[in-house]
């Protein structure tokens, strides 16, 4: 039996990734389960999902505490979530990262695969939805399911142009995945944040160009987390509570807000 844990954020498709992987395994003749664990169910919030692949009598109904593989859809999650918790020494971490495995800081010496799934998703889908790209990396790195099976699962999930783009994301990630050993450190620095802070939910950070801002307050009105103040008729973001959803940038009538990727 193989057990897999997915870590992502609301909006990145971790639950869909787990379902696609379970479907791919089923298409190969295995029994499989996809178990989503919903939390706050908000865009940007950490999300966990589980997949179990094996034979019928191995399909227990429980969460997975000692996974064989951990799949991480967001490059910054490792700074806020203990992604290697319970991961078997013989297992593997498959992580969305723009750096090669030997530059990924971990507190455990575990075989690590990296792929820049965000870059692939932006190139192919035009949005940072990393679920299908990370599955391409999972296939390449682990060999636990075949590439063809994941592509078939994607084609069952979507049709037309959407299916084509997601298949392309899977294939690109498959080709660009690297496997190696991480940079092992004593402790991962996980900075403490104010209570209810959403700073570590962000993959992208809104940056206001005060020169362009005309003070219309539209961003202030639409921000779902009330994390924008108007100061001297200009928009000012409170980064302790901004979750990086990008709604303010989408709505700004003069493109005064740019979403920039947070540094890994």
DSSP 263: P
Dist. CA 25–CA 162, nearest whole Å: 22
Is residue 218 involved in binding ligand SF4 (CB under 6 A)?
Answer: yes
Written as one string, the DSSP assignment of 138-194 is HHHHH-SS-HHHHHHHHHHH--HHHHHHHHHHHHHHHHH-EEE--EE-S--------
Is residue 11 involved in binding ligand SF4 (CB under 6 A)?
Answer: no
Dist. CA 69–CA 58, nearest whole Å: 17
Q: Are the CB atoms for 84 and 106 separated by under 8 Å?
A: yes
Is residue 217 involved in binding ligand SF4 (CB under 6 A)?
Answer: yes
Is residue 248 involved in binding ligand SF4 (CB under 6 A)?
Answer: yes
Q: Which is nearer to ligand SF4, 54 or 215 (CB)?
A: 215
Q: Provide the minimum distance between the beta carbon of 217 and ligand SF4 in the complex, in angstroms, as a whole number.
A: 5
Work out which of 26, 147, 215, 262 binds ligand SF4, going by CB under 6 A.
215
Q: Give whole-number Cα distances, 163 to 75, 117, 132, 174, in Å.
A: 25, 17, 10, 16
Q: Provide the minimum distance between the beta carbon of 46 and ligand SF4 in the complex, in angstroms, as a whole number.
A: 16
Q: Provide the minimum distance between the beta carbon of 262 and ligand SF4 in the complex, in angstroms, as a whole number.
A: 12
The mark string for 221-240 relative to ligand SF4 (x by CB under 6 A, - otherwise) is --x-x-xx------x-x---
Q: Provide the minimum distance between the beta carbon of 260 and ligand SF4 in the complex, in angstroms, as a whole number.
A: 11
**Using only C-alpha atoms, what is the Rg of the chain?**
19
Chain residues that interact with ligand SF4, rule: CB under 6 A? 206, 208, 213-219, 223, 225, 227-228, 235, 237, 242-248, 252, 254, 256-257
């Amino acid at each position: 039996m193989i057990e897999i844990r997915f870590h992502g954020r609301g909006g990145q498709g971790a639950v869909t990734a787990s379902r696609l992987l379970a479907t791919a395994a089923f298409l190969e003749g295995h029994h499989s389960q996809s178990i989503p664990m919903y939390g706050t169910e908000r865009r940007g919030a950490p999300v966990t999902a589980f997949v179990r692949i094996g034979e019928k009598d191995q399909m227990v109904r429980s969460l997975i505490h000692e996974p064989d593989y951990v799949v991480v859809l967001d490059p910054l999650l490792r700074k806020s979530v203990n992604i290697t918790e319970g991961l078997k020494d013989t297992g593997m971490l498959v992580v969305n990262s723009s750096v090669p495995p030997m530059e990924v800081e971990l507190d455990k010496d575990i075989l690590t695969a990296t792929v820049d799934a965000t870059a692939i998703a932006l190139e192919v889908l035009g949005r940072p939805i990393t679920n299908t790209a990370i599955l391409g990396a999972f296939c390449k790195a682990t060999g636990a399911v075949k590439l063809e099976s994941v592509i078939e699962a994607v084609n069952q999930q979507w049709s037309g142009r959407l299916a084509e783009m997601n298949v392309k994301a899977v294939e690109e990630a498959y080709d660009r995945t690297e496997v190696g050993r991480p940079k092992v450190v004593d402790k991962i620095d996980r900075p403490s944040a104010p209570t209810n802070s959403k700073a570590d939910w962000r993959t992208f950070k809104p940056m206001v160009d005060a020169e362009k801002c005309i003070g219309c307050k539209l961003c202030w009105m639409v921000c779902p987390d009330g994390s924008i103040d108007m100061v001297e008729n200009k928009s000012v973001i409170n980064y302790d509570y901004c979750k990086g959803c990008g709604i303010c940038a989408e709505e700004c009538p003069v493109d005064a807000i740019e979403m920039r990727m947070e540094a890994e």
